[in-house]
Amino acid sequence: MKRKVHQQRQAGSLKFFRSIHRVAAIYLFVVFIIISVTGLMLGWKKHSGGLLLPESVNGTSTDLKDWLPLDSLYRNACGILSDSVSAGLSCNLERIDIRKEHGMVKFVFADHFYGIQLDGATGQLLQIERRRSDIIEKFHDGSILDHLFGLRGEYFKLIYTSLTGLALLVLTITGFWIWYVPVRMRNKD
Protein backbone atom coordinates (compact mmCIF):
# COMPACT_ATOMS: atom_id res chain seq x y z
CA MET A 1 0.00 0.00 0.00
CA LYS A 2 2.79 2.41 0.99
CA ARG A 3 4.67 1.63 -2.21
CA LYS A 4 1.60 2.26 -4.36
CA VAL A 5 1.04 5.67 -2.71
CA HIS A 6 4.69 6.56 -3.33
CA GLN A 7 4.41 5.57 -6.99
CA GLN A 8 1.23 7.65 -7.36
CA ARG A 9 3.05 10.68 -5.90
CA GLN A 10 5.92 10.17 -8.31
CA ALA A 11 3.51 9.82 -11.22
CA GLY A 12 1.74 13.01 -10.11
CA SER A 13 5.02 14.91 -9.86
CA LEU A 14 6.02 13.58 -13.27
CA LYS A 15 2.75 14.84 -14.77
CA PHE A 16 3.24 18.24 -13.10
CA PHE A 17 6.84 18.57 -14.36
CA ARG A 18 5.82 17.48 -17.87
CA SER A 19 3.15 20.18 -18.01
CA ILE A 20 5.61 22.87 -16.83
CA HIS A 21 8.19 21.63 -19.34
CA ARG A 22 5.66 21.58 -22.21
CA VAL A 23 4.22 25.03 -21.50
CA ALA A 24 7.66 26.63 -21.03
CA ALA A 25 8.95 25.00 -24.22
CA ILE A 26 5.93 26.14 -26.24
CA TYR A 27 6.23 29.77 -25.13
CA LEU A 28 10.00 29.92 -25.49
CA PHE A 29 10.44 27.98 -28.73
CA VAL A 30 10.96 31.06 -30.93
CA VAL A 31 13.21 32.75 -28.36
CA PHE A 32 15.45 29.68 -28.09
CA ILE A 33 15.62 29.34 -31.89
CA ILE A 34 16.79 32.97 -32.10
CA ILE A 35 19.35 32.47 -29.32
CA SER A 36 20.73 29.26 -30.83
CA VAL A 37 20.96 30.55 -34.43
CA THR A 38 22.53 33.87 -33.41
CA GLY A 39 24.86 32.05 -31.01
CA LEU A 40 26.07 29.84 -33.86
CA MET A 41 26.57 32.89 -36.06
CA LEU A 42 28.53 34.71 -33.34
CA GLY A 43 30.69 31.65 -32.82
CA TRP A 44 31.59 31.64 -36.52
CA LYS A 45 31.89 35.41 -37.02
CA LYS A 46 35.71 35.44 -37.18
CA HIS A 47 35.61 32.65 -39.75
CA SER A 48 32.97 34.17 -42.03
CA GLY A 49 35.36 35.76 -44.51
CA GLY A 50 34.32 39.27 -43.50
CA LEU A 51 30.59 38.64 -43.96
CA LEU A 52 29.66 38.83 -40.26
CA LEU A 53 32.74 40.50 -38.77
CA PRO A 54 34.71 42.83 -40.99
CA GLU A 55 38.32 41.81 -41.40
CA SER A 56 41.07 44.17 -40.30
CA VAL A 57 42.88 45.86 -43.18
CA ASN A 58 46.58 46.72 -42.86
CA GLY A 59 47.77 50.32 -42.83
CA THR A 60 51.18 51.62 -43.80
CA SER A 61 52.96 51.86 -40.42
CA THR A 62 52.85 49.95 -37.17
CA ASP A 63 55.00 52.56 -35.43
CA LEU A 64 52.76 54.85 -33.36
CA LYS A 65 55.17 57.79 -33.70
CA ASP A 66 54.27 57.89 -37.42
CA TRP A 67 50.54 58.07 -36.71
CA LEU A 68 48.29 61.10 -36.92
CA PRO A 69 46.66 62.34 -33.69
CA LEU A 70 43.41 60.57 -32.76
CA ASP A 71 41.34 63.74 -33.08
CA SER A 72 42.49 64.13 -36.71
CA LEU A 73 41.73 60.50 -37.44
CA TYR A 74 38.31 60.88 -35.80
CA ARG A 75 37.48 63.93 -37.95
CA ASN A 76 38.53 61.96 -41.06
CA ALA A 77 36.30 59.04 -40.02
CA CYS A 78 33.31 61.34 -39.46
CA GLY A 79 33.87 63.03 -42.82
CA ILE A 80 34.06 59.69 -44.61
CA LEU A 81 30.94 58.45 -42.79
CA SER A 82 29.03 61.56 -43.83
CA ASP A 83 30.29 61.63 -47.44
CA SER A 84 30.35 57.91 -48.24
CA VAL A 85 27.52 56.41 -46.17
CA SER A 86 24.99 59.07 -45.15
CA ALA A 87 25.18 62.68 -44.03
CA GLY A 88 22.49 62.02 -41.41
CA LEU A 89 24.41 59.39 -39.44
CA SER A 90 25.67 60.24 -35.97
CA CYS A 91 29.39 60.31 -35.18
CA ASN A 92 28.81 59.30 -31.54
CA LEU A 93 31.46 56.72 -30.77
CA GLU A 94 30.96 53.39 -29.11
CA ARG A 95 34.69 52.72 -29.14
CA ILE A 96 37.98 53.29 -30.91
CA ASP A 97 40.00 50.16 -31.64
CA ILE A 98 43.67 50.87 -32.15
CA ARG A 99 45.23 47.98 -34.04
CA LYS A 100 48.90 48.84 -33.85
CA GLU A 101 49.90 45.47 -35.33
CA HIS A 102 47.83 46.30 -38.43
CA GLY A 103 48.77 49.99 -38.61
CA MET A 104 45.05 50.72 -38.44
CA VAL A 105 42.54 52.48 -36.23
CA LYS A 106 38.87 51.50 -36.26
CA PHE A 107 36.05 53.85 -35.28
CA VAL A 108 32.91 52.00 -34.20
CA PHE A 109 29.83 54.20 -33.90
CA ALA A 110 27.19 53.89 -31.17
CA ASP A 111 23.96 54.83 -32.93
CA HIS A 112 24.21 52.66 -36.05
CA PHE A 113 26.04 49.62 -37.34
CA TYR A 114 28.87 51.17 -39.34
CA GLY A 115 32.57 51.33 -38.62
CA ILE A 116 35.41 53.10 -40.37
CA GLN A 117 38.94 51.69 -40.63
CA LEU A 118 41.65 54.26 -41.28
CA ASP A 119 45.37 54.02 -41.89
CA GLY A 120 46.86 55.31 -38.63
CA ALA A 121 49.75 57.07 -40.35
CA THR A 122 48.01 58.66 -43.34
CA GLY A 123 44.39 58.90 -42.20
CA GLN A 124 43.30 57.35 -45.49
CA LEU A 125 40.24 55.13 -45.65
CA LEU A 126 41.00 51.43 -45.52
CA GLN A 127 37.47 50.09 -45.21
CA ILE A 128 33.89 51.06 -44.43
CA GLU A 129 32.47 48.31 -42.27
CA ARG A 130 28.90 47.12 -42.07
CA ARG A 131 28.96 45.62 -38.57
CA ARG A 132 26.57 42.69 -38.99
CA SER A 133 28.00 40.87 -35.96
CA ASP A 134 26.89 43.77 -33.74
CA ILE A 135 23.34 43.44 -35.07
CA ILE A 136 23.40 39.69 -34.49
CA GLU A 137 24.72 40.18 -30.95
CA LYS A 138 21.89 42.60 -30.16
CA PHE A 139 19.34 40.01 -31.31
CA HIS A 140 21.17 37.33 -29.33
CA ASP A 141 21.11 39.20 -26.02
CA GLY A 142 17.80 41.03 -26.53
CA SER A 143 19.32 44.51 -26.54
CA ILE A 144 17.95 45.10 -30.05
CA LEU A 145 14.77 46.48 -28.46
CA ASP A 146 16.79 48.78 -26.19
CA HIS A 147 18.55 49.99 -29.34
CA LEU A 148 15.38 50.43 -31.41
CA PHE A 149 13.53 52.31 -28.67
CA GLY A 150 16.60 54.33 -27.61
CA LEU A 151 16.52 52.96 -24.06
CA ARG A 152 19.65 53.68 -22.03
CA GLY A 153 20.74 51.25 -19.34
CA GLU A 154 19.80 48.14 -21.35
CA TYR A 155 16.80 47.33 -19.14
CA PHE A 156 15.13 45.15 -21.74
CA LYS A 157 18.37 43.20 -22.16
CA LEU A 158 18.52 42.63 -18.40
CA ILE A 159 14.92 41.39 -18.24
CA TYR A 160 15.29 39.29 -21.39
CA THR A 161 18.51 37.56 -20.31
CA SER A 162 17.15 36.96 -16.79
CA LEU A 163 13.93 35.41 -18.07
CA THR A 164 15.58 33.28 -20.75
CA GLY A 165 18.27 32.13 -18.30
CA LEU A 166 15.63 31.16 -15.73
CA ALA A 167 13.55 29.47 -18.44
CA LEU A 168 16.53 27.41 -19.56
CA LEU A 169 17.15 26.43 -15.93
CA VAL A 170 13.47 25.39 -15.52
CA LEU A 171 13.58 23.38 -18.76
CA THR A 172 16.78 21.67 -17.65
CA ILE A 173 15.43 20.74 -14.22
CA THR A 174 12.04 19.59 -15.50
CA GLY A 175 13.67 17.70 -18.36
CA PHE A 176 15.93 15.89 -15.91
CA TRP A 177 12.94 15.06 -13.69
CA ILE A 178 10.94 13.76 -16.66
CA TRP A 179 13.86 11.46 -17.47
CA TYR A 180 14.77 10.51 -13.90
CA VAL A 181 11.37 9.55 -12.40
CA PRO A 182 10.56 6.79 -14.97
CA VAL A 183 14.10 5.38 -14.60
CA ARG A 184 13.72 5.35 -10.83
CA MET A 185 10.25 3.79 -11.02
CA ARG A 186 11.54 1.02 -13.35
CA ASN A 187 14.47 0.27 -11.06
CA LYS A 188 12.17 -0.11 -8.03
CA ASP A 189 9.98 -2.67 -9.80
Q: What confidence tens digit (pLDDT) does each residue in 74-121 have?
A: 999 999 999 999 999 999 999 999 999 999 999 999 999 999 999 999
Select from 173, 164, 166 the least CA-distant residue to 13: 173
Can you tell me the mean pLDDT for 119-144? 96
Average pLDDT, the chain: 92
Question: In terms of DSSP H, where are the helices of the chain?
Answer: 2-44, 70-80, 132-141, 143-148, 155-188
Those residues with Cβ within 8 angstroms of residue 89's Cβ, 6 or more apart along the chain or in another chain = 81, 82, 109, 111, 112, 114
Assess whether pLDDT exceeds 70 at residue 61.
yes
- The yes-or-no verdict on residue 1 having pLDDT over 70 is no
pLDDT beyond 70 at 158: yes
Quote the percentage of the chain above a pLDDT of 70: 98
- Give me the residue spans of the domains in the chain: 2-45+138-188, 54-130
What is the dihedral sign for C-alpha 75, 77, 82, 83? positive
